[in-house]
Each structure stands twice: as structure tokens, then as C-alpha cells.
Amino acid sequence: MGMDFTSGYRLVSALFLRLLGLVYLIAFISLAVQVEGLAGSNGILSFSNKLAALPQPVELANYLRVPTLFWINSSDAALVGAAWSGAVAALLIALGLWQRVALVAAFVLYLSLYHACLPFLNFQWDGLLLESGFLAIFLTPQSRVVILLFRWLLFRLRFMSGLSKLSMGDPSWSGLTALNYYFEVQPLPTPLAWYAHHLPEWVLRAGTAGTLFVELVVPFMMFLPRRWRFVAAWLTILWQVLIMLTSNHNWINILTIVLCLFLFDDKAVARVVPDWLQSHLKGRSEAAGVRSNPVTRYATALLAVSIVTLSLAHLWELAKMQQVTGPLGTALNYAEAYRVVSKYHVFPTMRTERFELEISGSLDGEEWRQYVFKYKPGDLSKRPPVVLPHQPRLDWQMWFVTLHPMHGYFFRAFMQALLRNAEPVIDLLANNPFPDEAPRYLRVDAYRYHFTDAATRAANGHWWWREYIGPFTPLPWLERSAQAPQHGFPASPTAGESTPPHVPRLYIPPQVE
């Protein structure tokens, strides 16, 4: 006989915190093995260099808008240590030990790393993890307000993604052709994406329509009576599983499924949770966040009013495609800086072509050796990998380089890291074609990639075929100069190519999918 979880959200709250701890653990470990190459002193976009370039004394507004512990110490050891410390805090949450302290620690550490590693952490899943982690600090089995805020968070995640598809006016969504392209053009497809891409046209159109239904209609069921909430939960979970089968979207689908717990209640969850786990969770559920008292109740009410107000402003911005200004706009900026209220808009527009960049280096300008990425498409015969729940930040960021000029500053910094043979950056790649001496030249060629058809794959085993576009502009190649500063731009850019200004300041780019 199981424990008496006939009503309420005691079991749901305790189970959610354990699973949130596991998601935090995944995120921290994934980042710990990459952070030095992304934001370390010899990384792509060194955070310590950004801080050093700030005018002195540093204005108070910078401290407030960039809340991070690394104002105190931004060394490589501090960055890596923070990531592994976050993993320890996450493990404590998952084990049900000192959960309140661990929840605060995990949030502060991940928020600090978020700002230190921009733009590599400027994505939906990072905002979702931080917002979920922030709400979890206030979670108690008795706090129906916080439980409703979690439902509101799940509603916003799903509905805003659907609303963005309509407000952006992308014809592939309105014409129900988005899935004709999605499996091929997404950042990191899985092997099953190849098969999904070749599904019949009517299946792909039905899948596109289903996506819009699940994102635009199903979220409203989350606030209906019990049975409707269950339907909303299972439809949402089903869609997340389908996405995980075809897409390497790290832990965002896992966290979305975990958030669906709040659409159930203890009576429903107790039917599927083993008795021994129920007993264990019941014994430790009192540690699930803060205990309820008049102060926390008033604070929770104020928190709820603030979050709902700010998130409604986000919805208005998305629906009207206009930015909120004035005091409310200022409040939104700070809320986004602390990631307590985030925007969610997953694939609001759909690419119709896949572009990949091939980077080669040379010592003499005659013999060229190719750099190989660990996960993104390159070798035509290489099977698309399964890497979730890991988030390979460099491979993912490369998908955006051909999408918008705003990503050029990252790519130029990455090229400079290759020119100086920066070891932490090279470790993010699958190979180092220049183990003994840094290359003098770099060349970037652009290709259009396509999934092969069944006949081609059967004949030569290739998953992809590609067509050459030409040198990637505006950055076809770079030359290393003895006069080039270690963290600046080359002293001798390509003829006819203007050297854009360096961006050493603390830069918070617009959030992208």
C-alpha cells in the first residue's frame, strides 16, 4: 500500500525538486567541460578580458545589469570551479539534502555562468532552467500560488512558442510546410531525423498542424479542470518525446516534461511512483523549499503579481511585435538580466536551407588542413550523432553564423582563437590539424547541405550531400600577423575587407533560438 497522497501537491513538489536537481546536474556538467574554451582567459570570448576593457571605475549599472560572481574573480579556475560547484549543489537537490540552500546556490552559480558565457548561454533552455530554478526556491507543498506560477511558466513556454510562429508571419508555418524543412535544417539532427525528413508529405503537414495545435490550443487546457489538465500534460509530453527522437535539443524537452508534473496532483502521480520512492519522498518533502509563514506568503503574493505582470508584457510584445518602454520596459530589462522572467519563442521562423561552414588552416597558403567539429554536420558519411542531454555550445553557435550578422563578432573571435592555437578552444573541436605550430592562414568555405535520399544512402552510405557556394563572406580568410594582439583582430585583414571594431564590452545580445 502506498503512502496517503490522495490530494494536494506534496508528492508532486518533492518529485519535481529531485528531477529539477538532475536537470541542473546535466546542465552544470555539460558546461563544466566547455566553459574554459568559451569564456576562459584563452577562450573564444574571454570574460576576464571583457571586464578589463571596461572604463574604470565600473558604473553601478553594470553590476546590476550583469549579476555574476565573476566580478570578484573571473579566472579560469573560478569559472570551472563554479560549474563543478553547481554540479555539487544540483546533486544535493536531487538527493533531497539541504535543498533550500542548494537551490539558491545552483541559481546563483548558473546565473553567474550565464552572464560570463554570453552569447553561448543565451538560449531558451538556459532561461527556462533559471526561471524554473528561481521559482523552486519558493516551492512548498502548501503554496498553491507557486504551483500556479509553474503552470503559468509552462503555459508561456508553449503558448509563446506558438504565438511567435504566427506573429512573425513565417509562410512555412501558415502554409503547414515547416516540417518539410525542420528535420534537415535544425542545428543538430539525430539519425531518426533523416527518416523523418523522408516521411510522406501529408504526414509532415499533419505534424506541422499538430505542432501549432499543441502550442496554441493545448496550453489553455492547463488551467481547466483536472481531466483537461491531464490531457494537456500527456499531449505536451508526447510532443517532447517526438522532438527528442529527432533533435538534439539538450535538456529543454526533459525539463518541459518535468514541468508537466504540476498539471497532475498527488493522487495521479502516486499511481505510477513506486511505494518505496513515495515513502522516501514523503520523509524528506518538508525540505522542499521554504516553509510557509505570513512573511513568505506575502512575499510569494508579491512575486506572483510581479511575474504575471512582466510576463504579460512579454506576451504583448510578442503579439504586437513592439517593445515595451518606460518603467515597465526597464523592469523587463532587469527581470531578463536576472532570468526570473524570460521570453520563449522556439523556431518562430523556419530556415528552408542548411548552410555549413568548413574552416581550413594553412602554414604557407598552399596546403590546407581542415578543422573538424565534434557534432555538427561535416563529413558526408558521418551518421548524425545523439548527444542529448549534452549541449555542445560551439557546434550549436556555429549554426547561427550564417543566419544573422550579429553573430559575426563571435565567429571572428573564434577564428582568432584558432590562429593562436588556443588549447581550450581546440579542445572543443574533434581535431587539431596544427599540433606543433599555429596556422598562419584560415579559410572559410560555405556549403549548402541536404539529406541524401534512400537510393544514394544505400549506394554510398552517405547521410548528406552538399553543394559548394563559395568563400564565406564577409570573412573569407584571415592571416596571422606578428603584430596582431593576442585577443584583438589581425593586423592584416583581407584586401577590401574592413575590420569591424572589437566588442570588448559586456554585451547582452538579443535572445535567439
| Exposure b/e, 417-430, CB count within 10 A at least 16 = b | bbbebbebbbebbe
3-state secondary structure of 370: strand
Confidence band for 7, pLDDT divided at 50, 70 and 90: low
Inform me whether the pLDDT recorded for 327 exceeds 80: yes
What is the C-alpha to C-alpha distance for residues 28 and 464, in angstroms, rounded to an integer?
A: 33
pLDDT at 326: 87
Domain presence at residue 425: yes
What is the C-alpha to C-alpha distance for residues 442 and 447, in angstroms, rounded to an integer?
A: 17
What is the rounded average pLDDT of the residues 404-419?
86
Q: How far is CA 333 from CA 11, 111, 116, in A?
A: 35, 15, 18
Lookup: cell for 61: 549599472
Count of other CB atoms within 10 angstroms of residue 77: 10
Domain presence at residue 170: no
- Grid look-up 577562450 returns 43
Confidence band for 479, pLDDT divided at 50, 70 and 90: low
What is the C-alpha to C-alpha distance for residues 156 and 371, in angstroms, rounded to an integer?
A: 40
Confidence band for 214, pLDDT divided at 50, 70 and 90: very high
Nearest Cα neighbor of 272 from 234, 236, 235 is 234
DSSP for 233-297, written as a single string: HHHHHHHHHHHHHHB--TTHHHHHHHHGGGGS-HHHHHTTS-HHHHHHHHHHGGGSSPPP-HHHH
The beta strand positions in 389-452, using DSSP E, are 441-451
Q: Which residue has the higher pLDDT, 21 or 328?
A: 21
pLDDT at 124: 92
pLDDT at 417: 95
pLDDT at 487: 29
Q: Which residue has the higher pLDDT, 101 or 511?
A: 101
Total number of domains constituting the chain:
1
Inform me whether the pLDDT recorded for 509 exceeds 70: no
3-state secondary structure of 390: coil
How many Å is the Cα radius of gyration of the chain? 24
Residue 377 structural domain: 354-479
DSSP for 132-197, written as a single string: HHHHHHT--TT-HHHHHHHHHHHHHHHHHHHHHHHHTT-HHHHTT-HHHHHHHHSSSB-HHHHHHH
Strand partners, 443: 360, 477
Helix or strand holding residue 359 (H, E): strand 354-362
The percent of residues above 90 in pLDDT, for the chain, comes to 68
Domain presence at residue 348: no
Give the model confidence (pLDDT) of 424-471 as tens digits: 999 999 999 999 999 999 999 999 999 999 999 999 999 999 999 988
What is the C-alpha to C-alpha distance for residues 234 and 308, in angstroms, rounded to an integer?
A: 25
Inform me whether the pLDDT recorded for 39 exceeds 90: yes
pLDDT at 478: 54
Q: What is the pTM of this model?
A: 0.88
Give the model confidence (pLDDT) of 130-147 as tens digits: 999 999 999 987 788 999
Inform me whether the pLDDT recorded for 3 exceeds 50: no
Domain presence at residue 32: no
Give the model confidence (pLDDT) of 219-270 as tens digits: 999 999 999 999 999 999 999 999 999 999 999 999 999 999 999 998 988 8
What is the C-alpha to C-alpha distance for residues 138 and 296, in angstroms, rounded to an integer?
A: 8
What is the rounded average pLDDT of the residues 153-165?
95
CB 259 within 8 A of CB 154: yes
Nearest Cα neighbor of 121 from 251, 16, 240, 246 is 251
Domain presence at residue 404: yes
pLDDT at 284: 61
Q: What angle do CA 429, 77, 436 make, to 5 degrees?
A: 40
Give the model confidence (pLDDT) of 364-411 as tens digits: 888 999 999 999 999 999 999 999 999 999 999 999 998 876 777 889
Helix, strand, coil percent content, the chain, rounded in steps of 5? 55, 5, 40
Domain presence at residue 65: no
Give the model confidence (pLDDT) of 266-304 as tens digits: 898 888 887 777 777 766 654 444 556 777 778 888 999
What is the rounded average pLDDT of the residues 344-359?
92
Domain presence at residue 452: yes
Lowest-confidence range among 62-71, 214-223, 382-391? 62-71
Lookup: cell for 179: 516540417
What is the C-alpha to C-alpha distance for residues 236 and 238, in angstroms, rounded to an integer?
A: 5
Please classify residue 404 by burial: count the beta carbons closer than 10 Å to its beta carbon, then call 0-12 exposed, 13-18 middle and 19+ buried. exposed
- Average pLDDT, whole number, for the chain? 87
Using the Cα atoms of residue 502, residue 507, residue 511 and residue 513 in order, give the sign of their dihedral.
positive
Who's near 67: CB < 8 A, 6+ residues apart? 111, 112, 115, 337, 338
Who's near 13: CB < 8 A, 6+ residues apart? 139, 140, 141, 147, 285, 288, 289
What is the C-alpha to C-alpha distance for residues 255 and 160, in angstroms, rounded to an integer?
A: 17
What is the rounded average pLDDT of the residues 344-358?
92
Amino acid at 323: Q
Domain presence at residue 152: no
Q: What angle do CA 66, 19, 157 make, to 5 degrees?
A: 55
What is the C-alpha to C-alpha distance for residues 292 and 456, in angstroms, rounded to an integer?
A: 63
Inform me whether the pLDDT recorded for 148 exceeds 90: yes
What is the rounded average pLDDT of the residues 305-318?
90
Confidence band for 322, pLDDT divided at 50, 70 and 90: confident
Lookup: cell for 138: 519558493
CB 252 within 8 A of CB 125: yes
